[in-house]
Chains A and B, each alone.
Chain A
Amino acid sequence: ETGVTQTPRHLVMGMTNKKSLKCEQHLGHNAMYWYKQSAKKPLELMFVYNFKEQTENNSVPSRFSPECPNSSHLFLHLHTLQPEDSALYLCASSLGTGHNYEQYFGPGTRLTVT
Chain B
Amino acid sequence: AQTVTQSQPEMSVQEAETVTLSCTYDTSESDYYLFWYKQPPSRQMILVIRQEAYKQQNATENRFSVNFQKAAKSFSLKISDSQLGDAAMYFCAYCSGNQFYFGTGTSLTVIP
Please list the residues of chain A having a beta carbon within 8 angstroms of any beta carbon in chain B.
2, 4, 33, 40-45, 48, 50, 55-56, 90, 97-100, 102-103, 105-108
Contact = CB atoms under 8 A, between A and B. Distances in A.
Contacts, number: 50
Given A42-B4, A45-B99, 5 more contacts: A33-B100, A42-B103, A43-B100, A105-B44, A107-B44
Interface of B: 4, 9, 31-33, 37, 43-47, 50, 52, 91, 93, 95-104
Nearest to A100: B33
Tell me if B's interface is mostly helix, strand, loop or mixed. strand
Q: Would you list the 5 A-B pairs with minimal beta carbon distance, nearest first?
A: A43-B102, A99-B95, A99-B33, A105-B45, A42-B102
A102 B50 contact: yes
B100 A98 contact: no
Contacts of B50: 102
Given A45-B99, A45-B100, A103 B47 contact: yes
Contact of B98 (A41, A44, A56, A102): A56
Query: Which of A42, A99, A106 has its CB near the most chain B CB atoms (within 10 A)?
Result: A99
Contacts of A100: 33, 52
Nearest to B31: A99
Nearest to B42: A107
A103 B100 contact: yes
B104 A56 contact: no
A107 to B, nearest CB: 5
Given A42-B4, A42-B104, A56-B99, A102 B47 contact: yes
